Structure 1
């Protein structure tokens, strides 16, 4: 009897084969990443040894004619543009998700979600070109030269907004199925239900969307090259050109 129970509880052989195949694939992918990293370090090692890292990370001078380069301004500019884009995109993403679930008619909500899915699939170079011909001239009218930290923040926020909104929206839909009817029966107001129950319960999806959006923003290069001015300096205002 125990033997029969053990056979009934044990996974089928096909499942075990699939599990080991997936483990092997995951191990192979991890090994490839390690090999690529080691190869890059091996090839770059002669240059890495000749760099004065303290000066490279602390000196603000950028003089290619004298072989003087630095990373300080680019690191600071990257952090500023990414943080600014996230701070701009998160509130809009949260309000967009709530609008789709609790305020918009079904056809409008469906249209808005499909629009976000379309925007999520557009390459960064398209955003960059649109920013170059539309956003940069608009900023230039306010404060020259137009190519600036502000342009980068606006374009990056637009780039990561669909990711944050769709992730939060999906999690909000799951939470709504669980809690909406119960809170309605208990007599909660719409406002109290949304901000007191739904948003806190869906914060996991929001954090996931923020992480995914931040990762995409950190990896974006073409937009920054097209709209930020490509000048290695520490910005003192939103209208200063930067390089990330």
Structure 2
């Protein structure tokens, strides 16, 4: 186990008591994988942009995707529901997108739902019976019927992996916490554009909206909770 109980502490929680070990009963726990889609792994034609995004893509290929694949397999083996969320629009022109996805710049995402770049990366292909939600918002809870699905399946604990830590992951985590779900974010199954953005956001959401752990921690608690 890592030092997750004392890591990623913000100013607000610098002196707080360490949290208790979590209990994650498989039948009441879900893994939510957010936005790990082909579009974010595509090479840039502009060499300057390719260089700028090289550290992010290295983290995705070397850490986030392999770790998330391992986490998915662990959850499947333990009987934990695996759910995927992806950004994709239902209309080809993207009229159904939220305002944040229509603004110019990086967040401008026009990803029709059936196009190849909007699909989950092949290494994390959902199983036939796993739920894949399509969202046109940052928060997977706000932009889909995920809330209803979790309640219908009697899920109270949500483990989160995906990208981007400081955008869709954070927005989803905050929404889940406001709905009183117990949320765990898996640090080495997430990424932001830079390590600084990634770390800063984890410090902001840890202890209040979620607990931030490593893959090894979560796998250990899932094993313990399924005994």
Q: Under a length normalisation based on structure 1, what TM-score does the superposition of the two structures give?
A: 0.22
- Flag the structure with more relative contact order, 1 or 2, with Cα contacts below 8 A and sequence separation at least 6: 2
User: Whose radius of gyration is greater, 1 or 2?
Assistant: 1
Between structures 1 and 2, the one with greater strand share: 2
Between structures 1 and 2, the one with greater helix share: 1
